[in-house]
Every structure is written in structure tokens, then in C-alpha cells.
Amino acid sequence: MIQRIQTLYLLLVLILSGITLFSVQAGFVGNADAIHYVLNYKGIFSGVNNVQNVWALSALCVLIPIIALITIFLYKKRILQIRLSIINSVLLAGYYGLLFIYLWQAGNVLNADWYLNIVTAFPLINIILTFLAIRAIGKDEALIKSLNRLR
């Protein structure tokens, strides 16, 4: 299980997704009053005041590492691994869609300019790692099929 390269890719996806979940992903600076807001898994906050909930984004941030962990342990079912990895890639792309919807809405409501932290790039790295894992799983499946033909 751990000796395969796709397991390492999926483990990196799991680690980066966990970091993304518990880090501040973006921030806002108010235009008129220069109040600083942050966006994390709990919502959009100004100090201790919750301005807006981001439950859908938080649910995606929790679901992505869970699927990656499940995919790691399904090493004997390679086709299912590929399908779960594709689903995970779609969820990662959906993460970006939801993030920018929340940023756009909150920026308009708060009359603030938003900025992204470096943690926001982790889902893009996860998409690339998931794609590499899919390729490696596909190579393993092709190898197993070719060995079965020789028997």
C-alpha cells in the first residue's frame, strides 16, 4: 500500500487539505473603515464577530481529505480508486467555485477588497496530485491486466 507512488500523492492531498481546513484562506480589508475580516472554516469574522457563515465551503474542506483517506485504503480496488479520485478532483474544483462566490458576495456586502493567502493555492496543488495519482493507478491497472493475459 504505502510503497506505491499514488499512495504518497494521496497522502499529500490529505495533508494539504487538512492544512487548508484549519488555516485562514482569505481576508478582507474594508474600504471605508479599514476593518480587517478573515475567512476560515468557521466563517467570515471581524475580530470575534461572525459576519457570514460558509458551511458549504467548510463541508467541502472536510469531505476532500476524507475521500482521499478512503481512497488510500482501497488499494485492491483500483477502478474504484480512480473513480473516487475523479470525484475528489471535481470537489476540489467546486471548492474554488464556492470560495470565489463567497469572496465576491462578502466583498460586496462588506464593501471591502479581498485578498487570498498562500493556503488558497493548496487545492490547485491537490488537483495536480490527484491527477498524478489517477495516472499511477491506471498504470498499475494496465500492468495487472497485462500480467493476467500472460497466464
pLDDT tens for each residue of 27-48: 988 877 778 889 988 888 887 7
Q: What is the overall mean pLDDT for the chain? A: 90
pTM for this one?
A: 0.89
Q: Kindly state the average pLDDT of the residues 112-119.
A: 91
What's residue 150's pLDDT? 64
What's residue 73's pLDDT? 93
What's residue 90's pLDDT? 97
Q: HSE (CB half, 13 Å, CA atoms) of 85?
A: 30
What's residue 2's pLDDT? 63
Q: Higher-confidence residue: 35 or 93?
A: 93
CATH code linked to domain 5-144: 1.20.140.150
Q: Which of the residue ranges 4-18, 111-125, 136-150 would you say has the lowest mean pLDDT?
A: 136-150
